[in-house]
Amino acid sequence: MIEAESPASAPICGNGFAGQPIIEVERDGVRYTLLGTAHVSKASIDAVMAAIDTGRFDAVAVELDEQRHKALTNPDALAQLDLVKVIRERKIAPFAANLALAAYQRRLAEQLDIEPGAELKAAAVEAAARGLPLQLIDRDVGITFRRILQGLSWWDRMKLIGGLAGGLFASEEVSEDDIERLKEGDMLESSFGEFARDTPSLYATLIDERDQYMAAKLRERGDSAKHVLAVVGAGHLKGMARYLTDEQRAPADLTEQLSHVARKRNIPWITIVLMLLICGGIAWGFAQGGADLGKDLLLQWVAWTGGMAGLGALLARGHVLSILAAAISAPLKPFRPGLPPGMFSALVEVHLRKPAYPDFLALRDDAQTLAGWYRNRVCRVVLVFILTNLGSMIGVWVSGAAIIGKLMG
């Protein structure tokens, strides 16, 4: 028989430690103190230290996932990255988004003389020093990014990726408005800029889903803690308090649901249609126009797709064998659905030009400039992957138009 959960008490709001906002919720015999922080404020660090110094809390939770926790508390975390595994598991896009976030955080740190998320780091370090259980309650940023992409149209995806790329190489200081929004909101939301504020589906995934997820993770605790301090961005306070109070679904079921990323179809329908038209056109050319027309159409396909993919790898300054891998794999796209040519060229690049330890140490700094992306071997592998795929995509459309035009002419 499943024991029913006891109802949660009404949230208690107030100004708590060092003037930072708090909301307290009691549920199932556990009191949760949600401490709202600004990720770029020294006052938030003071608030965290003051809260833990009270000795009232027997556990600490922070708005971090495992990856960001390692990045904050272990300077060598990036050096332990298995880049080959990232490529094989097709996690280059979330990795590139992480680089954009890291570059944005570094710009903030240089401008404000404080490390973004320093209060989260302080909470984690202090909890470890005092022997308090630490719970990482935020959703993996890679899952969040993939859930964002699956909820956007093709055009919105391009706008988002373009905005992130622009943010990587921006040289101007972060605006005062953005800094104020960051003090009141969320680091991930701020890194996506105006696009996040103007796109309801993106906001829902970035903020509301994570409010639900973090509230559920708090309820999922496996220890005997009775008073938990949860250090989160101020923008999450009200949402988390609401879900802690009202949510009735089992926390394990909810976190599993919010971590699910729908498997992409191997090829989007528009690409399937285009491939059928191209392959059918080439076959029709052989059948109706003879070997000369068929060979001409096939050559158009190979030249455009292989040439543009190879050009992309060349523009990324990939190794000559990486360029060759791009040029060979791109024309074979119809026969290996779901495996982009950039995956092959990037794997060749990472094997031939293995990133060294200094490349990983300099990754956050190098990710801020275009020259750094070409200088750093980790960044260059990402560039080879992205530009090879971009070139291949252009080649598919151009060759398709050329083949159809020749058949109709």
Look at 49 and 148; give whichever has higher pLDDT.
49
pLDDT at 97: 73
**pLDDT band per the 50, 70, 90 thresholds, residue 3:** very low
Tokens of 160: 């988002």
> Average pLDDT in the 192-208 region?
67
Q: How confident is the model at residue 4 (pLDDT cuts 50, 70, 90)?
A: very low
Q: Which residues pair with 27 in a beta bridge?
A: 30
- pLDDT of 116 > 70? The answer is yes
Report the pLDDT value the prediction gives residue 323, as an integer from 0 to 100.
96
Q: Which of 32-41, 130-139, 398-407 has the highest mean pLDDT?
A: 130-139
Which amino acid type is present at position 240?
M
Residue 2 binned pLDDT confidence (cut-offs 50, 70, 90): very low
pLDDT in tens, 146-162: 888 787 777 777 777 76
CB 139 within 8 A of CB 220: no
User: How many angstroms separate the CA atoms of 16 and 32, rounded?
Assistant: 14
15 has which bridge partners?
Answer: 21
Please provide the distance, in angstroms rounded to a whole number, between the alpha carbons at the two ends of the chain.
74
pTM over 0.85: no
Q: How is 268-282 classified by DSSP, letter by letter? A: -HHHHHHHHHHHHHH
Strand runs labelled E in 238-328: none
Delimit the domains of the chain by residue range. Answer: 12-258, 269-408
Strands (E), 163-322: 227-233
Question: CB within 8 A of 154, min separation 6: which ones?
Answer: none
Percent over 90 (pLDDT), the chain: 36
Q: What is the pLDDT of residue 264?
A: 61
pLDDT tens per residue, range 231-279: 998 888 889 999 999 989 999 999 999 998 876 654 556 566 666 666 6
Strands (DSSP E) contained in 102-163 are 134-136
